[in-house]
Amino acid sequence: MEHQHHEHQHEMPEMKGHDHPQHQERNGMGHGDMGHAGYDHGAMIADFRKRFYVVLAFTLPILALSPMIQHWLHLQIGFPGDRYILFALSTAVFLYGGRPFLTGWLSELKAKNPGMMTLIGFAISVAYLYSAATVFGLKGMDFFWELDTLILIMLLGHWIEMKSIAGASRELELLVQLMPSAAHVLKGDVTEDVKTESLKENDLILIKPGEKVPADGMVEDGESYLNESMLTGESAPVQKTKGQQVIAGSVNGNGSLKVRVTHSGKDSYLFKVIDLVRDAQNAKSNTQLLADKAARWLTIIALLAGITTFVVWISLGHDLAFAMERMVTVIVICCPHALGLAVPLVVAKSTSLSAQHGLLIKNRTAFENARKITSIVFDKTGTLTKGKFEVSRMVFTEGVLKSENELLKLAGALESNSEHPIATGILSEVKKRKLTLPEAAQFKAITGKGVEAVAEQKHIKVVSPGYLKENSISLPVNFKVASNETVVFVLIGEKLAGFVALADAIREESKGAIATLHENGIKSILLTGDNKQVAESVSTQLKMDGFFAEVLPHEKLEKIKELQQQGEFVAMTGDGVNDAPALAQADVGIAVGSGSDVAAETAGIVLVNSNPKDIVNLILFGKATYRKMTQNLAWATGYNVITLPLAAGVLYNQGIMVSPAIGAVLMTVSTVVVAINASLLSIGNKK
């Protein structure tokens, strides 16, 4: 997926000025096409609020002058020309209060895409023209008061609903606001404050304590803890020292950092995420297409039902005013508003929430399909395991050394110059135990077998089991290596001083993640290039449903196909690079641990962290999101099935009548219910 980052370079920090995605998405089903092309979201909310209050001011005199209201309240307010004043006030309400609906109707007609605005525009126009005709000679009773209350409630409903939509997109706005507006660029000894968007690759910037990081980069000097939770979902602050990456938008702790910019603002991880979120919010999934189709049909049904209602009541001998009122009520109550919003509101909320928790949705359909997953295939290294060697145990030879720490110090002294994963694992343990390493001199590599040097006036070697065999050095009694362990031996002279065992440790979260999958009826399968013993060991410890071992990268695709042929709906997790074919073949491809490589091309979903708990969260959140969508669709459809016959007057003989104003209230309530239900969506939502 290509992202056109340059489009957003300058407008990002002021995103409040954007119309919300679902308005464009619904092709005129909402306010996006209401003749307000130049408006931003906040201005549209303010406009509806203002129109509502103006119409409210007109409502009292209109009600007071309406013959029907006077009849109900047993009042007598009459004076010469009162009908013309009522007409003038109602005309003002129709033209000013009804303007958004009338211009929206025109836009929908131009686009040949009739929707909600067509229904409201048609309903208020019929009500106004009929009532105006009664003022100038047509026999019948006007319903100006009904027109006024209908427009009043419609304006209120739109105002409330737009505030709900603004709430659903607030998370995306929060992501935008993560970017600081200024950065401190270091030029020699001078610090210059510049706008964030003017930062270029290779600029050296200073990040002071408590400040937000303005661009992706590499630490050149300093040490601090950074809070990356809003970007990755990782709650614990992450330590950053020289040579480590920092992500734009994360918050610096109490140390100062000098950072070399690696991506300018528009190419930063955060901007890619924002683009991705916006693309996903605008993308139509199958559920969205279903909702759009339903809303289109509802528009046609509403118009046909309204006209049929009018014809039926006229043919039954009722007067024109009554038949008109029934028609207007049917059309208003059937507005496919709730239906049009049922899915987009959930989409906006879920996509933004996901981004904050390090789940980046590139393909809406893949995300919604998470509910169908029956088997999930885990790439082992770096997902279920930590992907790096850690010291699992140490044994020292009594009489030669006094403690584990002494053994570790000697091994660490020799490994301190090496980049090898084993050396990194030993040094990590040294750091954890806060040990001071002795100096090592006369450092020499023993080809393919280990290293040797002089430390603490002793000749030390750190070697593999192969070296011991070759030199006939006997192994300790009861010496056993677990299938997932790698062992190095420490020799003083040629005497065995002990050994250090290292393993790619299983993540603490893995066990819980696999157990949660089982609770949800999802099988977990391990896929690894490691040997059978290692695969079996990890699979057994985590109580997984099976494993594929010694699988080469190009064979992963075949394993996914095998599972699919057995009728499984398969999700695959991989690193997005060598797993690309398998990710593409899987029903749901999840790229993990991609960090700032957001555009892991073949995956439908990218997880910023490699945490298996995130994968489980993703699946459960996908299910919760789909549930919210179906709840909203069921509510919006069910509401119309019940209220349409009532509006048409099927229970008229039982004394049950729904006025246009009550119809508008019911329509507004149904829309607000949909908006509130969408806003209740949260990660970890089980409902």
**Band of the pLDDT at 565, cuts 50, 70, 90?**
very high
The answer to whether residues 582 and 572 touch, using CB atoms and an 8 Å cutoff, is yes
Q: What is the pLDDT of residue 175?
A: 60
- pLDDT at position 34 is 33
pLDDT tens-digit readout, 413-430 = 888 877 677 788 888 888
Q: Measuring CA to CA, which residue among 613, 662, 595, 607 is closest to residue 511?
A: 613
Percent of the chain with pLDDT over 70: 78
SS3 396: strand
pLDDT, tens digit, for every residue of 584-608?
Answer: 788 888 887 644 444 455 677 877 7
* pLDDT value at 22 more than 50: no
What's the confidence (pLDDT) of residue 164?
58
Q: What are the E-state strand segments in 507-551?
A: 523-527, 546-548
The tokens for 82 are 């009162």
pLDDT at residue 2 is higher than 50: no
* 537, 482 contact by CB (below 8 A): yes
Distance CA 65, CA 53 (A): 20
Q: Which two tokens stand for residue 344?
A: 């987009």
**Angle at which helices 269-282 and 337-356 pack, to 10 degrees?**
160
Assign 614 a pLDDT band (cuts: 50, 70, 90).
confident
Residue 407 near residue 401 (C-beta atoms within 8 A): yes
For 184, 185, 374, the CA distances from 211, given in Å and listed in that order, are 11, 14, 44
Q: How far apart are CA 626 and CA 347, in angstroms?
A: 10
Confidence class for position 311, pLDDT limits 50, 70, 90: very high
- The pLDDT value recorded for residue 117 is 77
- Predicted local confidence at residue 134, as pLDDT: 82
* Amino acid 364: pLDDT: 75
pLDDT score at 281: 54
Q: Is the pLDDT of residue 283 over 70?
A: no
In this predicted structure, what is the pLDDT of residue 553? 66
Q: Tokens 């406009």 appear where?
A: 47
Distance, CA of 642 to CA of 647 (rounded, Å): 9
Indicate the class that CATH gives domain 351-385+507-619: alpha beta
Any idea which architecture 181-268 has in CATH?
Distorted Sandwich (2.70)
* Helix 320-333, helix 612-648: angle, nearest 10: 170
Confidence of residue 545 (pLDDT cuts 50, 70, 90): very high
Query: 238 is written with which tokens?
Result: 């992450």
d(Cα 370, Cα 386) in Å, to the nearest integer? 25
Active site residue 379: yes
CA distance 562 to 79: 87
Q: What's the whole-number average pLDDT of the chain?
A: 77
- For residue range 288-303, list pLDDT tens digits in order: 667 667 767 777 887 8
> Does CATH place domain 386-506 in 3.90.550.10?
no
Half-sphere exposure of 620 (CA within 13 A, CB side): 20
Q: What are phi and psi for residue 489, nearest 5 degrees?
A: -110, 145
pLDDT digits (tens, 9 = 90+) for 456-508: 888 888 888 878 888 888 877 667 777 667 788 998 888 888 888 888 778 88
What whole-number distance in Å separates Cα of residue 262 and Cα of residue 259?
9
Residues listed for the chain: 687
Residues 6+ apart with CB under 8 A from 81: none
Q: What is the pLDDT of residue 19?
A: 34
**What pLDDT is attached to residue 89?**
94
The pair phi, psi for residue 667, each rounded to 5°, is -65, -45
One-letter identity of residue 451? V
Residue at token pair 């069921």: 634
Tokens of 488: 């190095």
Catalytic residue among 203, 275, 292, 379: 379
Give the residue from 115, 151, 147, 118 showing the smallest Cα distance to 134. Answer: 147
Q: What is the pLDDT of residues 225-270, one digit of tens each?
A: 887 765 655 556 778 888 888 888 888 888 889 999 987 766 777 7
Q: For the chain, how many helices (H) and strands (E)?
A: 23, 22
Least confident of 43-52, 374-383, 415-424: 415-424
- Output the six-digit token pair for 332: 């208003």
Distance CA 452, CA 433 (A): 23
User: What distance in Å separates the CA atoms of residue 44 and residue 52, rounded to the nearest whole number?
Assistant: 12
CA 137 to chain CA centroid, Å, is 59
371, 557, 561 from 578: Cα distances, Å: 26, 11, 17
* Pairing of β 204-207 and β 182-187: antiparallel
Evaluate whether 496 touches 476 at the Cβ level (below 8 Å).
Answer: yes
In this predicted model, what pLDDT tens digit does every residue of 443-468 receive, in sequence order?
887 776 788 888 888 888 888 887 88
Nearest to 151 by CA among 53, 67, 52, 63: 52
Pairwise CA distance, residues 246 & 596, whole Å:
10
- Quote the CA–CA distance of 254 and 129 in Å, as a whole number: 69
Domain edges within the chain: 21-168+284-350+630-679, 181-268, 351-385+507-619, 386-506
Q: Which two tokens stand for residue 196?
A: 């964030």
DSSP class of residue 401 equals B
Closest CA to 214 of 255, 169, 171, 271: 271
Q: What are the tokens at 657?
A: 């009548």
The pLDDT confidence band at residue 13, using thresholds 50, 70 and 90, is very low
Tokens of 551: 């699988």
b (16+ CB within 10 A) / e for 312-337: ebbeeebebbbbbbbbbbbbbbbbbb
Query: What are the pLDDT digits (tens) for 499-535?
Result: 888 887 788 888 888 999 999 899 999 988 777 877 8
Burial of 637 (C-beta count, 10 Å sphere; 0-12/13-18/19+):
middle
Residue with tokens 């307000």: 36
For the entire predicted model, the pTM comes to 0.59
